[in-house]
Amino acid sequence: MAMHVTAGLRLAGRYELERQLGRGGMGAVWLARDVSLGRAVAVKLVDSDDPAHRRAQGRLRREALAMGSLTHPQVAQVYDYCETDDGAFIVMELIDGESLSVRLSREGRLSAAESVRIAALCAEALDAAHRAGLVHRDVKPSNIMLTGDNAKVVDFGIAASLEPTEATTAFGMFGTVAYLAPERATGATATPASDLYALGVVLYQMLAGHLPFNAEESMAMLYAHTAASPLPMPSDVPPDLVGICLDLLAKDPAARPASAFTVAARLKSASVTTPVPYEMLWLPEPDPVGAEPDPAPARRHRRHRRHSGPSQRHYPQHSELSV
Catalytic residues: 138
Q: What are the residues whose beta carbons fall under 8 Å from the beta carbon of 88, sequence distance 6 or more?
A: 45, 46, 48, 57, 60, 61, 81, 82
Residue 63's nearest CA partner among 89, 86, 84 is 89
Cβ–Cβ under 8 Å, residues 79 and 11: no
Cβ–Cβ under 8 Å, residues 305 and 299: no
Give start and end residues of each alpha helix (H) in the chain: 51-68, 100-107, 112-131, 166-170, 182-185, 192-208, 218-227, 239-248, 260-269, 295-307
SS3 150: strand
Q: Kindly state the DSSP code that residue 200 receives in the 8-state scheme.
A: H
Residue 102's nearest CA partner among 220, 21, 25, 196 is 21
* Bridge partners of residue 152, in order along the sequence: 145
- Dihedral over Cα of 159, 175, 149, 76: its sign: negative
| Cα–Cα distance measured from residue 153 to residue 136, given in angstroms and rounded to the nearest whole number | 9
Cβ–Cβ under 8 Å, residues 143 and 195: no
Q: Kindly state the DSSP code that residue 75 receives in the 8-state scheme.
A: B
